[in-house]
Every structure is written in C-alpha cells, then in structure tokens.
Amino acid sequence: MTDNSVLLEKRGQAFWITINRPDKRNALNAGVIAGIARGYRDAHDDKDVRVIVLTGAGDKAFCAGADLQNGGAAFSMDFSRPNVDYADLLRLSQNATKPAIARVGGVCMAGGMGLLCMTDMAVAGDQVIFGLPEVKVGVFPMQVLSLLQSIAPPRLVNEWALTGEPFDARAAQTAGLLNYVVPAAELDAKVDWLIGRIVDKSPTAIRRGKYAMRAIASMSFDESIAYTESQIALLAMTEDAKEGLKAFGEKRKPTWTGR
C-alpha cells in the first residue's frame, strides 16, 4: 500500500483493520478495498492472531459505502474482467478461517453494509444509522445482497433495498445484523469483551469450525450431516481436542497449541 487509507495494527491476539478516511465518512475506494484485503491476509499469515476487528476511524462513520466523488467512478469497471475487487474482498472474507468482528461506531451504508455482513459478529453504538440507499442514486446493492440475504429476513431486505430508507441500530439488531448494541461510550469495552470470549478458546476448533460452517451453508441436510460427522471425527484427532478433553478431566484450563 502506498497510502494510509487503511490502518493495520496487531493488538495482542487481535488484528485491527481500520478504514482511515474519516473526512470521507470512511468511503470505499480502491485503496480501502485493497487495504482491507491485505489486512485479512496478514491476519491469517500470523499464527498468533486469533481474531480480526474491522472498524472505521472517528465516530461519524463505520463506512458510508462507495466514494461517489469523481462522477461515479466507483461504479466504473473493466468489463474484460469477470470479477471486481469489492466482490473479491467479500469472497476472501467468506473463505477466512479466523473470526472477524465489526466494530460499528458510526453510519453504515451501502457497501459498508457488505463489510458488516462479511464479518462473523458485530457490535454497534446505539446511535448508529444503517441503510441501503443505492436506489436513490440509480443503482442497487447487488453484491451486498449476496451476504445480506442469508442474514436478515427477506421482507426486511426487500424494504431496505427497494426504498433505500435508513433504519436504526435496534432495528438492525432485531434483523440479525448485530450481536450487541451499546451506548457509544461502551463500544470499545464491549468489543474487548467479545475478543476475550474468543481468544481463550481452541484456535483449531474455531478454524475447522468456520471452514465447516462455510462448507455446509449450501448443502442439504443429508449432505450436511454426512459431512459434519466426518469432520467431528477428524477434529477429535487434533492436539487441541485431545488437550481440551484432558484439561476438562483434570479440572484445569487448557493450553492450546493451535494444532
């Protein structure tokens, strides 16, 4: 990266990815998308990292969506390419084997909703406003729908996408987009609390578990149960599983090796 539009920072066992364009409401551009993707890759390359936190700088916006300056350049593309960078970022996130938390401290709109949906868990301030306003500028949240439709109820997704009207954090939580809604002053404490509930668990179990959840998402029940019965047998042979069961029997905390 040649700019600082995304900040990458390791804090203990958490890897923080911060969109750093507060003056642009942390809007998406090529540099931001590349920076987030790099953060995901760096986090997975570091064996000591147990969780990813995705957030936006400042208290005004998590991410307001694509940068609409420069005459809509955000929606221009090379039609010789079958894929686009934003879609590739969503693909990358879904193939990740380390959990990710969205820390939502400000407005979350349009493509920012895609970033929210690509994480495993989310915590937001109670003042945050969400929305899919694309129809107001003549486009549609096409790529966001790929993830959103499997999280929120269809009737609500229809309303959000077709009207483009905003909704608040409580509505987002009720719809399943958020795990927790807290006062803005308590946001960091709640994120730290959630990180703590992840990093003391088996990294092997989480890694293989996320892989399995991704694999069974589109399977029928018969396919899923056959796949998962083989997966639990494989997981039971790992060092972490053996250590976890041994520690349980000895009434002590396990020492995870991540193997």
Mean pLDDT by 10 residues, the chain (259 residues): 84 97 94 96 96 96 86 58 86 96 97 97 97 95 95 97 97 97 97 96 94 94 95 91 90 90
Task: Kindly list the strands in the beta sheet with 6-11, ordered across the sheet, starting from the edge strand earlier in the chain.
Answer: 6-11, 14-19, 51-56, 100-104, 121-125, 180-182
Separation of alpha carbons 104 and 118, rounded Å: 13
The residues, any chain, with a CB within 8 Å of residue 154's CB and separated by 6 or more, are none
- Residues whose CB is less than 8 angstroms from the CB of residue 141 and which lie 6 or more positions away in sequence, other chains included: 110, 111, 113, 114, 132, 134, 148, 161
Please give the Cα distance from 224 to 231 (Å, whole number).
Answer: 10
- pLDDT for the residue 1: 42
Cβ atoms within 10 Å of 114's Cβ, excluding its own: 26
CA dist 134 and 9 (Å) reads: 32
Distance CA(91)–CA(95), nearest Å, equals 6
pLDDT reported for residue 24 = 94
pLDDT for the residue numbered 84: 85
pLDDT of residue 67: 83
Ramachandran assignment for 29, one of left (phi > 0), alpha (psi -120 to 50 degrees), beta (any other) = beta
